[in-house]
Amino acid sequence: MERDNEAKALWKRAYTGPLALAPGGLLGGATCRGDAQVVRLSAIFALLDCSQVIHARHLRAALYCWEYCGESARAIFGDRVTDPVLNKINEALKASPSGFTRTEFLQTVFMNNCSADKLTGALRRMEESGLVRRESRQGERSLVDYWIPTSPFKMNEFNEVSG
């Protein structure tokens, strides 16, 4: 089966975007190879639609199905990993979904018992895994980075249907 041009463009964005994220831990083990699952699901949706071509609508349906599977795995396995710093960040973000600045993490979450380098590395790994995103907000004097919890399985960007 082949994808039409719109599905090819959508696949390129998904493959290099959310499907490329690897959350790690048990969750990562349960959800690795999401790209292969999405390919299979999109082919199944096309066949159920009696189509020999995978259209963007079939791929979108597969991506949303994968999002549901990923969030289900997250509910079952949680997002705990073997790194206690990552786990502490995760727990703090669950309690405060509006996020934290690096300073707030250091002072209120870690009570100054974590080095800035160790925190920065942990936040970078979590961002690369799709577990947090950085958001700049206007502070009193300048822009301040906040770290906000997110999910590596969210497929919101693929919800737009071209007319």
Query: Do the bridges between strand 53-54 and strand 2-3 make them parallel or antiparallel, or are there none, so unpaired?
Result: parallel
In angstroms, the Cα distances linking 68 to 59, 105, 160 are 14, 30, 18
pLDDT at 75: 85
Element spanning 138, H or E: strand 132-138
Which token pair is 55?
A: 């259209």
pLDDT at 79: 67
Over residues 37-72, the pLDDT tens digits come to 999 999 999 999 999 999 999 999 999 999 999 999
pLDDT at 44: 97
pLDDT at 160: 57
Structurally, at CATH architecture level, domain 84-149 sits in Orthogonal Bundle (1.10)
Which token pair is 126?
A: 């979590």
pLDDT at 36: 95
pLDDT at 159: 61
Residues of the chain with CATH 1.10.10.10: 84-149
List of the chain residues with pLDDT < 70: 79-82, 156-157, 159-163
pLDDT at 162: 46
Environment class of 140 (CB within 10 Å of its CB; exposed 0-12, middle 13-18, buried 19+):
exposed
Residue 11 sits at φ, ψ, to 5 deg, of -60, -40
